[in-house]
Amino acid sequence: MTATTETQADLSAEIAKIEADAEGQTQEGKPSRQPLLDYPPYRSSILRHPTKDPRHADPETIELWAPCFGHSDVDPLEADLTIAGSNEPIGERITVSGRVLDGEGRPVRNQLVEIWQANSAGRYVHKREQHPAPLDPNFTGVGRCITDAEGRYRFQTIKPGPYPWGNHINAWRPAHIHFSLFGRAFTQRLITQMYFPSDPLFALDPIYQSITSQKDRDALVARYDHDLSVPEYSMGYSWDIVVTGPSRTWTEPEEGDL
C-alpha cells in the first residue's frame, strides 16, 4: 500500500465539505449523479473519473435488451458460499435475500446476480497485497445465482469483516458484500456494494460517502430481517435492488403477470 500522511480527520473534513456543497446544489434544483465520480476523498478516483459530462444517446435496439443468463450458466449450489471447503467457514452465518426490480417495480426475472466478499477476518482470496488477517481454507467468498419469477435472489454466506485499505492513515472499509447485477436492458447494468445496518464506519468511508444524499446511501444498507433468519442456523438480511435505465416495454403481459 502507498504511504500516506493524511489522517481520518483530514478526510472527514473533505467529505463534510463536499456533502455541504452537494446539498447546496440540490437546493438550487441541480441534483448530481449518485455516486459522484469526481470524488477526491477516494484517492484512486482522482485520475480515473471522466471530466466531461456524459453525452445523451437515444438507446438503440441492442441497448434496450439485456444479455440472457439461465440455469445452464449457474449451478444452484453456487448460491451457498459456506460449502466451498470440506468444513464450515469461520464466522457468523448469514442469509442474504431480496428482489431485483426495475424502475417501474417489475421483477427482473431469470437474471444473473454475482457476489464477492471478504471472509470474517476481512481478507479476500486475492493475490493483491492485503493486511495480514488470516485466510480461511473453507471460504472463497464468491457466489452466483439466477433470480426467480419474483426477481428474488438468495445467498447463504458468512458476515464479512471490515478491512484496512490504505486510502489514508487508519482507513477501514465498512463490512460489505460486492454485488453485480444485470437488469432488463444493457442500460441497467449495475455493480454496487451492500452494507450492514448501523456500521460505525459509514461516516468515515469515502466510498460510501461518495453518494452525497443520505436517502441514497441508505438504499445500500440491508435490513435485519428476523423472518429470514433460520432457526438454530443463520441471521437474515434483506436487501432489494432497483436497476433503472431505459428498457423495452411490453404490449402483452409476461408469463406470471396478472
Residues 214-243 touching other proteins, rule: CB under 8 A, are: 215-217, 219-220, 241-243
Is 163 labeled as catalytic in the residue annotation?
yes
How many angstroms separate the CA atoms of 199 and 177, rounded? 13
Nearest-approach distance from CB 241 to other proteins, in angstroms: 5
Nearest-approach distance from CB 44 to other proteins, in angstroms: 3
Q: Please, which residue, 28 or 255, has the CB nearer to other proteins?
A: 255
Which of positions 144-183 make contact with other proteins (CB under 8 A)?
144, 178, 180
- Exactly one of 5, 62, 86, 198 binds other proteins (CB under 8 A); which one? 62
What residue type is assigned to position 55 of the chain? R
Q: Please, which residue, 91 or 124, has the CB nearer to other proteins?
A: 124
Binding mask 65-104 for other proteins (x = CB under 8 A): xxxxxxxxxx--------------------------xxxx
CA distances from 63 to 34, 67, 114, 248, 252 (A): 22, 10, 21, 9, 21
Is 176 labeled as catalytic in the residue annotation?
yes
Q: Is 250 helix (H, G, I), strand (E, B) or coil?
A: coil
My answer on whether omega of the bond before 59 falls inside 30° of 0, hence cis, is no
Does the protein bind other proteins through residue 2 (CB under 8 A)?
no
Does the protein bind other proteins through residue 42 (CB under 8 A)?
yes
Cell numbers found for residue 57 = 444517446
Cell numbers found for residue 163 = 478491512
Beta-bridge partner residues of 144: 114
Q: Please, which residue, 1 or 13, has the CB nearer to other proteins?
A: 1
Residue 8 CB partners (closer than 8 Å, separation 6+): 168, 169, 170, 171, 204
Total residues contacting other proteins (rule CB under 8 A)?
Answer: 88
Is 237 labeled as catalytic in the residue annotation?
no
Which of positions 110-149 make contact with other proteins (CB under 8 A)?
112, 114-116, 118, 124-128, 140-142, 144
Is 173 labeled as catalytic in the residue annotation?
yes
Q: What is the DSSP letter of 204?
A: G
Residue 127 CB partners (closer than 8 Å, separation 6+): none
| Set 99, 123, 168, 176: catalytic member | 176
Q: Please, which residue, 166 or 229, has the CB nearer to other proteins?
A: 166
Nearest-5° Cα angle at 76, 72 to 80? 145
Residues designated as active site: 124, 163, 173, 176, 178
